[in-house]
Amino acid sequence: MSTGKGTIKLGVLGSGSGSNMQAILDAIENGSLDAEIVLVLSDNPEAYILERAQKAGIRAEVIDCAGYKTRFPDASQAAVAEQLKSAGVDIVCLAGFMRLVKAPLLEVFPQRILNIHPSILPAYPGLMAWKQAVQDGARESGCTVHYVDAGMDTGPTILQAKVPVLVDDTADTLHARIQVEEHQLYPDAIRLVWKDIQSNASTS
Residues designated catalytic: 117
Q: Are 42 and 124 in contact (CB under 8 A)?
A: no
Phi, psi of 111 (to 5 degrees): 55, 25
Q: What value does the CA radius of gyration of the chain take, rounded to a whole number of Å? A: 16
Per-residue DSSP letter, 156: P
Residue 134 neighbours by CB under 8 Å, 6+ apart: 165, 169, 170, 171, 174
Closest CA to 104 of 82, 126, 71: 82
Hey, how many other C-beta atoms are within 10 angstroms of the C-beta on 132? Answer: 18
Closest CA to 16 of 99, 122, 72, 123: 99
Q: Are 125 and 156 in contact (CB under 8 A)?
A: no
Closest CA to 99 of 82, 74, 123: 74
